[in-house]
Amino acid sequence: MTQNKPFIHLLKSPYHEYVYDVNTNEIIGISKALYDYLWMQQNKPELSIPPTSDVDKEIQQLMASGYLKDKHPEKIENPQIDFVENTLEHGLLKLTLQVTQRCNFRCSYCDYSNEDALRNRKHSPKSMSWETAKKAIDFFAHRIRDSKSVSIGFYGGEPLLEFGLIKRCIEYTNEVLEGKDFSYTITTNASVLTPEIARFLYENNVSLVISLDGPKEIHDSNRRFAADGSGTYDVVMHNLDRIREEFPDYYEKLSFNSVIDPLNDYAYTRDFFCAQHAGRNISTPLLVPQTGTRQVYSEEFSRAYRNENLLGYLYLLGILRENEISPLALNAAQEMRMFIDTHFRKRNELPSRIGHSGPCLPGVMRLFVDVDGQLFPCERVSESSGNMDIGHIDVGFNLEKVFTLMNISQLTEDDCKNCWGITHCTLCAKDADDTKRLSADMINIKCRSTLLNIENHLLNYIALYEVKNMIRHNINNHGGVEHYEKESNAIPI
């Protein structure tokens, strides 16, 4: 029996025991006896007793198959640091222009409305000049030689308040990016989405994401006009109705972003989208509480939310069809699908040099340019933080800042080396930023909840696998799962 401590995380479903093997990035079904043995080894090593012969045999079999290695990373460093400079010169993928900081809404959850000093700048009347926009487009156009497909987004405030600038940007970009595969996106509150604007966007194939939180009572509870605090639902729906009449093809391609407020009736939101926008692409981010506070979910909300996720997973299993679930459930299914596709790639073992999976390549995946031409890794970081700007369109990228943001896990290097979630972690530099400095304490605040979230995803993945097997092997007539059989130890990916 090996004296090494395998780098693993134990998982348990109501039906079976599993181990997540960090080195191979696989979930393997194990016996209860082995689970108990490993649990004791990890949590109460002082009480740990030698394994039984059966458990030892199982351990040997797993080790012979390449599992239960004790290898941890030796160095926490994003390996892409070797060539990120080259990628910043030639391989940018997305440009987001902050065309204005003005907004005609004052949504209660907006980062720019928030009094929380840790969050971001405030609303302001500033807009991007044409000169700055052109420079930003040229800056981007000269750095996409290796990029096969690129995207240009327009951001605000409310971006359509600067439609004239957007129009000029699109016309210019169409010329300078001739020959490239490129697309445009705008997220808008749709309050100024006139048919004239819609026509231009339609003709230029701009992907439009409409911010719509649900039926009138729910939407208006958080999304209000800045001028008088009145609800915005009626104006938004009126504009959408006009788009549907005049540009039905374009209307069918609209996507929606619906912020889910746990204080609102989730089922009501679900029914609204089912009735009005079935089959659409709807993103449903949960409202994030202010830093240092906790969101409390009512039992009613939690039940409704979990039910929709379950329906989404039943769709993934092929039990339900797409037209039988709500757009919210479909979104849950798509998120799970993306998690499986991006997170479960087998490997022989962890590389010696690794960064945790959260950080992007700053400036490459997204390059956010604010109204003044300052460069940021994305629109979600604090624009008022000196830690997060990575350069300026006039002088180029600040490579030192880029390297720092890429390697934010070096702040918590020892913890990350021993963390089973290292290749699934979603924390990035934004989470370390307190606007004064990049801080390990800020990461540690979110670390536990992030790990719980990863574990939740893994357990959901296991549940999907078990249900799939139950269906395959047929639950017997008396109920229960007496004839449930595993086909192999490792959950197929």
For other proteins, the binding residues (CB under 8 A) are 80, 82-83, 86-87, 90-91, 93, 141-142, 144-149, 175-183, 338, 341-342, 345, 361, 365
SS3 content of the chain, % helix, strand, coil (to 5): 40, 15, 45
CB of 364 to other proteins, least distance (A): 8
CA-closest candidate to residue 140, choices 81, 97, 194, 102: 97
Distance CA 303, CA 267 (A): 10
Distance CA 169, CA 167 (A): 5
Residue 167 near residue 197 (C-beta atoms within 8 A) = no
CA distances from 313 to 116, 162, 270, 303, 332 (A): 36, 41, 16, 15, 8
Nearer to other proteins, 177 or 235 (CB): 177
Phi, psi of 81 (to 5 degrees): -65, -20
Nearer to other proteins, 272 or 461 (CB): 461
Nearer to other proteins, 147 or 385 (CB): 147
CB of 91 to other proteins, least distance (A): 6
Nearer to other proteins, 480 or 492 (CB): 492
Nearer to other proteins, 92 or 371 (CB): 92
Residue 276 near residue 248 (C-beta atoms within 8 A) = no
Nearer to other proteins, 139 or 266 (CB): 139
CB of 332 to other proteins, least distance (A): 18
DSSP state of 207: E
CB of 369 to other proteins, least distance (A): 18
CB of 86 to other proteins, least distance (A): 5
Could you count the other beta carbons within 10 Å of the beta carbon of residue 453? 15
CB of 424 to other proteins, least distance (A): 13
Nearer to other proteins, 181 or 245 (CB): 181
CB of 141 to other proteins, least distance (A): 5
Residues of 231-269 as b/e, b for ≥16 C-beta within 10 angstroms?
Answer: bbbebbbebbeebeeebeebbeebebbbbbbbebbbbeb
